[in-house]
């Protein structure tokens, strides 16, 4: 039985898209070596092609849960040279979504569960500390159009990001794969006005 695995994940949020067992030590794999130009991903009823440039690979201790439910896992990538990547799992009961869209911008938010009361007003902001939650959205439009990626952050004291420019065509329907770090993947259809 293998004691190591190589996982392929979205670099911006750590969401795992797939994993391979490592049977013997070998050269370190790259995202392009595993995925080619793009890695196919099924979300809901839509197949997306995630560009290899948006992916990262990590060699981690083997964990069967990643093979049972790869979309439920995420990689916490090292933030300094004295750290190693580690494995974590997403909150499957919550997801991010495109919460607002205009002709030029969009905002990604974290919706409340159905029937939940609105959250209380946030406390005063803490001293400046980096507590932002990254998001990453892959838009797939009409056949033949290249995918479009929008990323940014949701500040800890808010449930929605500031508006981010998107470059989508008004009146065109897009399938969106929305990933917010630590939350389940979400697929939705959006049409900018």
Tens of pLDDT, residues 122-172: 544 433 334 688 999 999 998 888 999 999 999 887 888 999 999 999 999
pLDDT of residue 124: 46
What Rg, from alpha-carbon coordinates, does the chain have? 18
Question: What pTM was estimated for this model as a whole?
Answer: 0.83
34 closest CA partner among 48, 20, 54, 44 = 20
Measured between alpha carbons, how far is 37 from 18 in angstroms, rounded to an integer? Answer: 15
The pLDDT of residue 26 is above 60 = yes
Measured between alpha carbons, how far is 135 from 13 in angstroms, rounded to an integer? Answer: 6
Q: Which residues contact 140 (CB under 8 A, 6 or more apart)?
A: 46, 48, 49, 147, 174, 175, 176, 177
């Amino acid at each position: 039985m293998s004691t190591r695995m190589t996982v392929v994940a979205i670099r911006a949020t750590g969401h795992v898209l797939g994993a391979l067992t490592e049977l013997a030590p070998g050269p370190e794999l790259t995202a392009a070596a595993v995925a080619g130009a793009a890695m196919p991903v099924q979300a809901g009823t839509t197949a997306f092609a995630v560009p290899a440039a948006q992916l990262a690979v990590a060699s981690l201790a083997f964990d069967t849960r990643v093979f049972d439910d790869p979309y439920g896992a995420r990689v916490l990538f090292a933030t300094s040279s004295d750290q190693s990547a580690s494995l974590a799992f997403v909150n499957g009961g919550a997801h991010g979504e495109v919460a607002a869209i205009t002709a030029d911008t969009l905002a990604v938010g974290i919706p409340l569960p159905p029937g939940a009361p609105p959250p209380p007003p946030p406390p005063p902001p803490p001293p400046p500390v980096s507590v932002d939650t990254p998001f990453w959205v892959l838009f797939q439009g009409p056949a033949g159009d290249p995918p479009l990626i929008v990323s940014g952050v949701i500040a800890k004291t808010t449930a929605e990001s500031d508006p981010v420019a998107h470059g989508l065509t008004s009146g065109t329907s897009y399938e969106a794969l929305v990933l917010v770090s630590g939350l389940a993947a979400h697929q939705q259809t959006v049409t900018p006005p």
